[in-house]
Amino acid sequence: MPPRPVTAPPALNEQEFHQWLARELPAGSHGLLPLGDDAAALVPPRGRLAVLTTDALVEGIHFVRDSPPELVGRAAAAVSLSDAAAKGSRPAGLLVALLVPVGTPRKWARAVVRGADRMGRRFGAPLIGGDTKPSPTPSVVSTVIGWGRKGQLAPRAAARPGDVVVTTGTVGRGGLAAHRWETAGRSTSARRRALQSLLDVHPRVREGVALARWAHAMLDTSDGLADSSRLLAEASRTCVVIAEDRLPVEPGLHRLPAATRWRAVTYGGDYELLAALPPTAVRAATAAVRSVGGRLSPIGWVEGGTGAWTQHGASRDRAHREPMPPGGWRPFDLPAQPPRDA
């Protein structure tokens, strides 16, 4: 008996996909226009201004081909929510653009959108629009619209000498996930767990809103502690010093050799918030973050000078500090990806 022919899953069709979106994810209860219209419309609360941020996840750079599509959608929404959180804004709506090769299964596209919408809804930002286009490489572009307050946007350029540097959560979570991915070998289960950890982004939206009242400057640590400290120092034209012994290191990192542990700590993909606060606000800010279920740790300080530095030991002796090492992940330095049919 000849083998049965393999039937390919139904491919994505743009018109059918938009009809499905209108049926499954109606935005009329949130936005002023339904999904599938030319644009989305929201009414800003009185006294608020719009905060907008956009980001993209690309196959071969941010996720691999066999990544669960719902996790890809969740991560795509979460990375933009994290940037909105860094400005202390309350998310209000999410837009997602899918760029996919011709023949992409519609099941994959639907799962991505469901994942993104579920993540957005967790923080008050359901899917309200987007786009679908053919592309050689699968990519998911997410945009978040949020409402912020003038004077509480915590720009990177506003850290001041004397400020205390704080972080939410732990440092090194993304680096630990990357280490586990790199060392998983041929173990399917280990690779799956590591893959899920890499895409498991927890945007600190509630913590960002809580910190906005006091933060002089704030940014998320998607690029890692090292690069984020450098960005803060460069934008504010100050010196940012991170005390190594104060870092709330991700628990699983303690089992790694020192060099590997430090690389993971500075690698990236943590998606925590790094903020500069006046010393008088640290106690109140810590209590506010705790009240929304978060954790805030003082890990350094801002002083006159330039650059980002790691301080070793309990003292502030400059002889015991060294320049913050380069971050561990540079997407534009990665080798070119092979074509999909390679």
Domain extent listing, the chain: 14-148, 156-328
Instruction: Calculate helix-pair angle for 106-122, 69-85, nearest 10 degrees.
Output: 30
Q: Looking at residue 337, what is its pLDDT? A: 44
Separation of alpha carbons 62 and 78, rounded Å: 13
Q: Looking at residue 30, what is its pLDDT? A: 64
Q: Looking at residue 331, what is its pLDDT? A: 61
* Residue ranges of the chain with per-residue pLDDT less than 50: 28, 335-342
14-148 to CATH, choices 3.90.930.12, 3.40.50.1370, 3.30.1330.10, 3.30.420.40: 3.30.1330.10
SS3 category, 249: strand
The answer to whether the 14-148 and 156-328 domains have the same CATH topology is: no
Q: Quick one: which of 332, 328, 338 has its CA closest to 177?
A: 328
- DSSP annotation of 106: H
Q: Looking at residue 341, what is its pLDDT? A: 34
Separation of alpha carbons 76 and 178, rounded Å: 18
pTM (two decimals): 0.90
Q: Looking at residue 342, what is its pLDDT? A: 30
Separation of alpha carbons 145 and 126, rounded Å: 10
Token output for 329: 């992940």
Q: Looking at residue 319, what is its pLDDT? A: 76
Q: Can you give the length of the chain in residues?
A: 342
**Does residue 142 contact residue 49 with C-beta atoms inside 8 Å?**
no
For the chain, give the mean pLDDT: 89
Q: What would the DSSP string read from start to end of 186-240?
A: T-HHHHHHHHHHHH-----HHHHHHHTTT-SEEEE-TTHHHHHHHHHHHHHTSEE
pLDDT digits (tens, 9 = 90+) for 20-68: 887 877 654 566 787 777 888 888 999 999 999 999 999 988 888 889 9
pLDDT digits (tens, 9 = 90+) for 168-179: 999 999 989 888
Q: Looking at residue 313, what is its pLDDT? A: 81
CATH topology (fold) of 156-328: Phosphoribosyl-aminoimidazole Synthetase; Chain A, domain 2 (3.90.650)
SS3 category, 336: coil
**Max CA pair span of the chain:** 80
